[in-house]
Structure 1
Amino acid sequence: MRDTPRPEGTLGDIRPWPPQLRPGRALAHTPGASGSGSPHRSDSRPPQTPRGARPSGPDGRLGTTPPVPGRPTSLFLLLGLPALLFALITWQVMADGRLVDLDEAASRALIHPDRLSELLADLGNVPVAVPVLAVVLVYVTWRHRRTGTDHWWQPAAAAAVLMALVPALIVPLKELTDRPGTPAVPPATGYYPSGHTATAVVAYGAAALLLLPWLRTAPARRTALALCAALNLGVAFGLVRRGYHWPLDVVASWCLGTVLMTLLWLFLARGGRDQPK
């Protein structure tokens, strides 16, 4: 079978303009074809695939095709995962499960009371942590009021409400679980979850969230977040090292505090109310 050679072009075939469409040529793949509405269809019917039938939403929103990581994933990690972990730990504590045995073994290896651990644990006391938050609340409210921010009172009010929720949540859980303390404390019950840890997470975490919009430079914001993390880690280390709490008591309060801080973050981000004008 012989191949038919293609005719070679001549100088007369070279045109200074693009080739024009000839009558009768198919327009199915021509962008902007009459009645197509799509570069892939030659009629006015909508595409049959779900990808073309609905527009993509903002990045990470529900309904986006294809699904991309974004807000739903972040909310699960910051809300759903800590809540599930808190429920698991609480169940194990109440059922005296295997996780409790591991927790008690770890605590016996970590307990070593000293002056430093006691001082670090005291950073979670209400007389220490709550005044720090109160000073930040006053400062942030003054800045919002001074700059004329709409709803200037809401950020401080939201943080104060969360701080008040801490004992309202912790005290009933202590009575429900009725967990005894470590060998380093007098015989008593009601140590789960850790109230000192929850107080530190909410007080220092809320203070950092409220201050972030007013810190103009990235190093300043990173310093505020690092200081918040260092304070909470110090409180947790002091409580476990001194023997005031089992490790699971601290981890459970971290989970609870993460949920509360995520709710505060979502509230502050709603409508940009935490942004100075």
Structure 2
Amino acid sequence: MTIVTMAPRSPLPESPPGSPPTVRLWAVTLAGLSALLLTLVAAGWPPLTDWDASVAARAHEAALAHPGTTRTNRVFSDWVWDPWTMRALAAVTVLWLWRRGTVRLAVTVGVACLGAAAAQQLLKAAVGRDRPEWPDPVDTAHFAAYPSGHAMTATVVCGLVVWVLHRVKAARPVLVAAWTVAAVSVAGVGLTRVWLGVHWPTDVLGGWLLGGLTVALAALAYRRVEAADRRQ
């Protein structure tokens, strides 16, 4: 009698959303759009600045006409979706990943968040775009306008949290909830910044694009290191 023995199966690799070619396509697309928007903003392209001014003016009129909504937007912008709250969420995520032994994921999230914060400040200083100015402001903000730090930070942190949950194979209800909260947070924080009159619409768009690019690059870097380890 011939006994056939089968080698034990190795654990299935973690499967994040999107295949590497898809993530690369997203990275290239987001990089191209980010570069294009940055160029147009830095050059002060009239059609873009006119559109910014028009949307910002209408948003400011609405903010003055609806003080209750404006107060709500300030709460969400300053306490719920603000960069420090998002950084705290990122820190909790890094700690959780570290404690569960997924050190590489923890390092990836930490480095991506730090890199995004540094890039954001460098771009603000380099572009030096003035924020909207109003005779009757409903909120105030400091430093340069482009890109929106609120929008970029929320996109980076929420995007990384969703990516991490896919990597660790979280349950479907958890993933659905995470995607929903992330989408509402990223869209919501951008809208609040324009409503409150502290950013031009393209500041927010730039933050979204750069934040998405950061997440895509983090996922690609993680994949590359993971693949290199498997070849060894």
TM-score calculated relative to the size of structure 1 = 0.64
CA distance change for structure 1 residues 75 and 153 in 2, over 3 Å: closer, same or farther? same
Higher helix share: 2
CA distance change for structure 1 residues 104 and 189 in 2, over 3 Å: closer, same or farther? farther
Q: Any residues of structure 2 matched to 1:1-277 within 5 Å, and which?
A: 72=21, 75-76=24-25, 78-97=26-45, 98-111=47-60, 112-113=62-63, 114-122=70-78, 123-143=80-100, 145=101, 152-183=102-133, 184=137, 190-270=144-224, 271=226
Residue 75 of structure 1: how far off its partner (Å): 2.2
1:165-204 C-alpha deviation (Å, 9 max, x unpaired)? 1231112211222111112466976111111111111122
Asked whether the 8 Å contact 1:180–1:188 carries over to 2, the reply is no
Whole-angstrom distance in 1 between the partners of 2:171 and 2:105: 21
Asked whether the 8 Å contact 1:182–1:246 carries over to 2, the reply is yes
Unpaired stretches in structure 2, ≥5 consecutive residues: 1-18, 64-69
Letter in 2 for 1:218: R
Larger radius of gyration: 1
CA distance change for structure 1 residues 131 and 186 in 2, over 3 Å: closer, same or farther? closer
Identity level (%): 26
Secondary structure of 2:188's aligned partner: helix
CA distance change for structure 1 residues 86 and 226 in 2, over 3 Å: closer, same or farther? same
Tell me which of the two structures has the higher relative contact order, counting C-alpha pairs closer than 8 angstroms and 6 or more residues apart.
2
CA RMSD of aligned residues (A): 2.4
Whole-angstrom distance in 2 between the partners of 1:272 and 1:220: 27
Secondary structure of 2:131's aligned partner: coil
Asked whether the 8 Å contact 2:23–2:220 carries over to 1, the reply is no
CA distance change for structure 1 residues 189 and 207 in 2, over 3 Å: closer, same or farther? closer
Unpaired stretches in structure 1, ≥5 consecutive residues: 1-69, 146-151
Secondary structure of 2:87's aligned partner: helix
CA distance change for structure 1 residues 268 and 225 in 2, over 3 Å: closer, same or farther? farther
Whole-angstrom distance in 2 between the partners of 1:201 and 1:134: 15
TM-score calculated relative to the size of structure 2 = 0.75
Q: Which sits farther off after the overlay, 189-198 or 207-216?
A: 207-216
Whole-angstrom distance in 2 between the partners of 1:268 and 1:241: 37
Asked whether the 8 Å contact 1:124–1:199 carries over to 2, the reply is no
Q: Which sits farther off after the overlay, 221-230 or 183-192?
A: 183-192
Q: Which sits farther off after the overlay, 230-239 or 200-209?
A: 200-209
Residue 73 of structure 1: how far off its partner (Å): 5.6
Q: Which residue of 2 aligns with 1:51?
A: none
The number of residue pairs the alignment matches comes to: 196
Q: Which sits farther off after the overlay, 250-259 or 198-207?
A: 198-207
